A and B are shown apart, each in its own frame.
Chain A
Amino acid sequence: MTRSTKIFKYVGKRLLQGIPIILAIVIINFFLLNLAEGDAVDVLAGEAGSATPEYMAQLRKKFGLDQPLPVQLMVYLKNVLSLDLGYSFRHDMPVNELIFDRFAATGLLMTSTIILAVGFGILLGLLAAMRLNTWKDAVITVFALITYATPLFWVGLMMIVVFSLNLGWFPTSGMTNIAAFYEGWDYVVDVSRHLVLPTITLSLFYLALYTRMMRASMLEQYGQDYVVTARAKGLTERRITYVHVLRNALLPVVTMAGVQVGALIGGSVIVESVFAWPGLGMLAFESLFARDLNLLLGIFLLSSMLVVVVNLIVDIIYCFLDPRIEVN
């Protein structure tokens, strides 16, 4: 069997394995969310200010909230299996539409964050390890320590204060300039300008993490026997660092990056609120307070699918990086 068919089979197998995991997550989430007091009707009624009990009962009946929990769960599962995530009464829109709209925004933010954090983390870690115990190493280490220890929301606010309000380089919030109605290339530029500050804010923390990991990993690899062999073969230090040590040192960093994609969605809630980025994090935050369970469940489902898929991608990258890992 060739490597590519092996990988195809492996992907199929992993996706199949993902289905029961995702179903379990859906069921657990369903019960967890229903543990909390109150439902969407309570919130709607509270906001309206003058709802009679009869009207509330009627609303519940309309939303299907008067049914016993297991029945609600079965109905929900049936809908999920037919790819219908239900209706958000709060937003008066199908959940599918709502989520996929917002997902694009979050996906954009996450992708740019990962690229920035992993890319620069590796670069800085490499630099620190190569210039071990020099001022460059010290500056990088201190930088990593400070960004690691600074709260995200504060960084976000300071970014806005410095780069938006004082310097005026970037917009303060949102994803597009709504008043401008850009199209085509102008639209892309506009979105990228809006993307800069949230991305930097969200990636700083992870950047610090990967920098430290990469530095430690490089130093560990420098101590391995194969490095002595490479020197004994008469290779240049350049070759040893960039070809021999670097590839081995990348392995733990890639693993860690894969694990953290899930955590990124959580981290994005704060950043999205600070920058009013119209993403899933913001949506989840709002729907939690509106007791909009359908929407919340939908978001959870999407993020669990995302984690399953990203882990699969990381595993595949890993088996290209490390020939010792075999897919089976």
Chain B
Amino acid sequence: MTKKLLSINDLSILLPTGADRQYAVQDIDLELNAGETVCVVGESGSGKSLTARAVMGLLPAPHVRVGKGEIIFGGEDLTKVTYERLRELRGSEISMIFQEPMTALNPVMTIGDQIDEIFRYHVSMSPKERAEKALSLLVDVNLPDPEKIIDAYPHELSGGQRQRSMIAMALALGPKILIADEPTTALDVTTQAQILELINDMQKRLDTGVLFITHDFGVVADIADRVIVMQHGKIVETGTTKQVLQSPKHPYTKSLIAAIPRLKPRKARSRAAEVVLKTEGVCKSFGGGKSFFGFGKPNREVKAVQNVQIELRRGETLGVVGESGSGKSTLARCVIRLIDSDEGQIKLGDVDITKLSRSDLRPYRKRIQMVFQDPFASLNPRIRVGDIISQGPILQGEDKEDASKRAYELLDIVGLDRRSFDRFPHEFSGGQRQRIGIARALSLKPDILVADEPVSALDVSIQAQILELLDDIREQMDLSMLFITHDLRVAAQVCDYVAVMQYGKIVEMGPTAKLFKDPKDAYTKSLLAAVPGKDWHFGKLKP
């Protein structure tokens, strides 16, 4: 049954001179058989994506190139073949799908044309045949209304539809190998589950070998036959999924697996009586502008948040969970009044802050602070870390020296070196930057911390550390936290209470353990069912 498709032997990929290490990938061996799914797992910078690209000959030349080793496919060494031969193989024998389907598709070309190209450059078929084949491909990947989608541009499709189109493109000529580079990372959980299923179906039908790059052990547990764990460009462990997930040998694999947030809800704690934040009937819409002189129709109105009631007690963490577009971030922004809500009350203690003017709001600003998702974009690159942290208190009228002293203490609290004070944000890694972001939020001694997807952009081991830090801080400072996340596993780990949002409404709310064990709403159920690796979390694995 096992037909060997691809074998990578002793491959090293060189980084340009002057990089922090000599090799992006060092001495790796890898085999892929027909009909098999091999997952390459690792954190960012582990070289997993470059390994995948090397197979396609898509390394960012001339800076990054193969140093030694061979990639054997069908008796040919892909590192030695001519460019023309490589081009023939790409898209027909070996194809690839990417992480971000929006940017991976040409924005000014229809889906149909982008599929059509593959036929034009690999086989000779009449335009009519090609159009029919393209349409049938779109049907195969279960796209709704394929006649319409074939003439649609990428921006007219949802993320999941785009990824389906990408898969249609990749499988157009029935390739022997499909390389999937984090194809579901940018998607919502329910969409992710559907895409994984689609890849699985197509693989069975075409007996394709799938090389699947991911950072998510949940996904690995769901789809992989064999697993390869990479760290700093080297393979640290390989084995069947069962071996690696249930009895990891290498300490790095062990630590990675230990860092994964489980779907097991945390233990319930007793609730305090004091309500620190309460919203009543909060609504927020976007768009809906009037038309001009009767020309054109009025803009479409999007109700981002509709009639939301939440209550946050002192010392607890309330999770707001939902997929993209559910309105969870809009809610967070309304709560700290980065944007104004249209209707409803937002009470900080006893004060309704929705009606306060900007200057009246100022004293309340320091009581509620925010930690943002993207630690790269949310810190001003031209301001020193110390100033970033002490700026807030100084603006609120605190003495400059006191503020600096406090900034040093905060650096201690978030686990950064005191010397960080005089550095710029770009000198830090993602996790460290998120720590700076947290220190900045804490500098005003808030009662409430609003964390908008604070760990989504981070690697899983860093993610665990940041979650732990947030938990410690909450205990130490008696903080209440509004925690926005799309990841139910993260929510299970940190939240006392969870509210599930869909289309701007809260569909279900309750104590974490209860909600996870016995979800009432159909949407909550589907969300829970879509969590990758849920069988594994509960001790079951696919054989």
Contact = CB atoms under 8 A, between A and B. Distances in A.
Contacts of B153: 323-324
User: Which of B117, B118, B155 is packed against the most chain A CB atoms within 10 Å?
Assistant: B117
B290 interface: no
A230 B292 CA distance: 41
A244 B105 CA distance: 10
Contacts of B169: 233
Nearest to B110: A323
Interface stretch (A59-67, A94-102, A139-147, A221-229): A221-229
B87 interface: yes
Contact of B108 (A234, A235, A248): A248
B90 interface: yes
A229 B108 CA distance: 14
B288 to A, nearest CB: 14
Contacts of A239: 117, 121
A242 to B, nearest CB: 12
A248 B105 CA distance: 12
A231 B88 CA distance: 11
A247 interface: yes
User: Which of A13, A232, A321 is packed against the most chain B CB atoms within 10 Å?
Assistant: A232
Contact of A13 (B56, B166, B296): B296
A321 B106 CA distance: 13
Contacts of A226: 103-107
B315 to A, nearest CB: 44
A17 B292 CA distance: 9
Nearest to A11: B295
A228 B58 contact: yes
Interface size class of A (residues with CB under 8 A): 20 to 34
B293 interface: yes
A321 B100 contact: no
Interface in B169-190: 169
Contacts of A233: 90-91, 95, 117-118, 121, 169
A232 B59 CA distance: 11
Contacts of B244: none
B95 A232 contact: yes
Given A233-B169, A239-B117, A324 B106 contact: no
A252 interface: no
A9 B296 contact: yes
Interface size class of B (residues with CB under 8 A): 20 to 34
Contact of A228 (B98, B107, B121): B98
Contact of B98 (A229, A244, A323): A229
A86 to B, nearest CB: 30
A16 interface: yes
Contacts of B295: 9-10, 12-13, 16
Chain A at the B interface: SS class = helix
A207 to B, nearest CB: 25
Nearest to A225: B103
B92 interface: yes
B92 A13 contact: no
Contacts of B166: 229
Contacts of B98: 225, 228-229
A328 interface: yes
A236 B121 CA distance: 8
Nearest to A245: B106
A286 interface: no
A84 interface: no
A322 interface: yes
Nearest to A327: B296
B96 interface: yes
Contacts of A244: 106, 109
User: Which of A12, A17, A226, A248 is packed against the most chain B CB atoms within 10 Å?
Assistant: A226
A235 B121 contact: yes
A236 B117 CA distance: 10
Contacts of A13: 292-293, 295-296
Interface string B95-135: 11010100111111100000001100110000000000000
Contacts of B297: 328
B186 to A, nearest CB: 11
A239 B109 CA distance: 13
Contact of A234 (B90, B104, B106, B296): B90
Contacts of A236: 87, 121
B528 interface: no
Nearest to A251: B108
Nearest to B86: A234
Interface string A228-262: 11111111100100011001100000000000000
Interface string B69-96: 0000000000000000001111110011
B108 A247 contact: yes
Nearest to B172: A233
A56 B385 CA distance: 73
Given A229-B98, A232-B56, A233-B90, A10 B104 contact: no
Contacts of B91: 232-235
A218 to B, nearest CB: 15
Nearest to B105: A226
Contacts of B155: 323-324
Contacts of B292: 13, 17
Contacts of B92: 234
A283 to B, nearest CB: 35
Nearest to A235: B121
Contact of A229 (B87, B104, B121, B293): B104
Contacts of A243: 109
A239 to B, nearest CB: 7
A324 B104 contact: no
A13 B297 CA distance: 12
B108 A321 contact: yes
A130 to B, nearest CB: 16
Given A13-B293, A231-B58, A225 B100 contact: yes
Given A13-B295, A17-B292, A248 B90 contact: no
B104 A225 contact: yes
Contacts of B103: 224-226
Interface string B192-216: 0000000000000000000000000
A328 B295 CA distance: 8
A287 to B, nearest CB: 36
A24 to B, nearest CB: 17
A247 B106 CA distance: 10
The 10 closest A-B pairs by CB, nearest first: A234-B91, A234-B90, A13-B295, A225-B103, A233-B91, A232-B96, A323-B153, A226-B106, A225-B104, A229-B104
17 contacts: A10-B296, A16-B293, A226-B107, A229-B105, A229-B106, A230-B117, A233-B118, A234-B87, A234-B91, A234-B92, A234-B121, A235-B87, A239-B117, A247-B109, A322-B108, A323-B153, A328-B296
Interface of A: 9-10, 12-13, 16-17, 224-226, 228-236, 239, 243-244, 247-248, 321-324, 328
